[in-house]
Amino acid sequence: MTVGRPQRLFAAGPARDPRFVVKEHWVECDNFPGHHPLHLVQFFHRQMNEEVDSLEASAQSIADFPDAPWELRLALARQCADETRHARAFRAHLERRGGRVGQFPVLNFQYRIITALGDLVSRLLIQNRSFEAGGLDAIAYGVGEARTRGDTELAEFYEAQLADEIAHVRFANAWIRRTLKDDPRTVLRMGQALSAAAEAFRIVMGRDGTADADYPAAVQARLEAGFTAEEVRVAADLAATVHAVPSAASSADRRAAG
């Protein structure tokens, strides 16, 4: 763990087998432009690893919080299964296009940022309500792009992934709201978590990794995921004006998906 800034922002990274080269900053990775022949292959590789990261973060939360309400642990367990399916699907798309596991460097910043947080509500806030909610916008955008290109198979996969991610954001939203209702002071912890995650995200992504990274808010998906109409409006405004927030993480990766 040598990102080189306050250690509290990052936990140790998850284990990776020798096929993977793990980097710490976005700029150290292969970030091929949209016209590059390896662009889409690299995108699938990155998404595969990010889904593994999500699996690992959810699994770590199950292990770290044995006293969490059972319904929440059950939802996290389901998320583990879902993220596994997504990782397998991205691997299949990768290999179908001639790519291979370990072909490109990877980042594990999501796991490291999420599991650095010491309470479950903060983790749900960052993993599900920020990273994955940002993913809703990016996936919805990807669906449209894939359909425009005539890639029906990829569009259908994104649709299925979107449905799963909506469920993940929804259960997190429900638990966060419940926790806030029971203990309004939780909002202070949430604010600290957001600040820490945003700072960590900026360290990893830098300016290059977040520039032009936002997509229009996926209004319907966000509403289904339990955001209020006002929250969706704010997200839409932010997408137009702010780049360096955690929710841009998935967007940054998906930016060049087309």
Partner 1 sequence: MGLTVKQRGQHVATFRFVEVRLMEILAAWVPSTPEMEVKLLFGPHIWDCAQAADALGRRTHELRLPLQHSLAPTAAYLDVLDAVAAAAGAPRRIAAIYDVMLPALAGRYRRYLSRTDALMDAPTVRIIEHILGTEARMIREANELRTQLPALALDDPDWLPRLAALESSVAELADQPAAPDGTRQAA
- Asked if 111 touches partner 1 (CB under 8 A), the answer is yes
- Going 80 to 196 to 222 to 218, the CA torsion angle's sign is negative
Tokens of 122: 């903060």
- Asked if 233 touches partner 1 (CB under 8 A), the answer is no
Q: Which residue type, as a one-letter code, is found at position 179? A: T
Smallest distance, Å, CB 75 to partner 1?
9
Smallest distance, Å, CB 67 to partner 1?
12
For residue 222, count other CB atoms closer than 10 A to its CB: 24
Judged by CB under 8 A, the residue of 23, 25, 84, 258 near partner 1 is: 84
Cβ proximity to partner 1, 83 vs 132, nearer residue = 83
Judged by CB under 8 A, the residue of 1, 22, 74, 187 near partner 1 is: 74
Q: What would the x/- binding string for partner 1 be over residues 21 to 60, using CB under 8 A?
A: -------------------------------x--xx--xx
Which 91-110 residues touch partner 1, going by CB under 8 A?
101
Smallest distance, Å, CB 31 to partner 1?
22
Closest C-alpha among 254, 256, 248, 250 to residue 210: 248
Smallest distance, Å, CB 164 to partner 1?
12
Tokens of 156: 């259908």
Smallest distance, Å, CB 108 to partner 1?
10
Smallest distance, Å, CB 111 to partner 1?
7
Residue 214 and residue 250: Cα distance in Å, rounded? 9
Taking CB under 8 A as the binding criterion, the range among 8-16, 190-198, 203-211, 220-228 that sits at the site for partner 1 is 8-16
Owner of token pair 């808010």: 217
Smallest distance, Å, CB 134 to partner 1?
22
Please give the full DSSP string across 42-60, using - where no structure is assigned. HHHHHHHHHHHHHHHHHHH
Judged by CB under 8 A, the residue of 62, 180, 219, 238 near partner 1 is: 62
The count of chain residues that interact with partner 1, using the rule CB under 8 A, is 30
For residue 89, count other CB atoms closer than 10 A to its CB: 18
- Going 12 to 14 to 20 to 23, the CA torsion angle's sign is negative
- Asked if 73 touches partner 1 (CB under 8 A), the answer is yes
Closest C-alpha among 179, 173, 180, 160 to residue 225: 173
DSSP code of residue 12: P
- Going 160 to 102 to 46 to 129, the CA torsion angle's sign is positive
**Which residues contribute to the site for partner 1 (CB under 8 A)?**
14-20, 52, 55-56, 59-60, 62-63, 66, 70, 73-74, 77-78, 80-81, 83-85, 87-88, 101, 111, 115
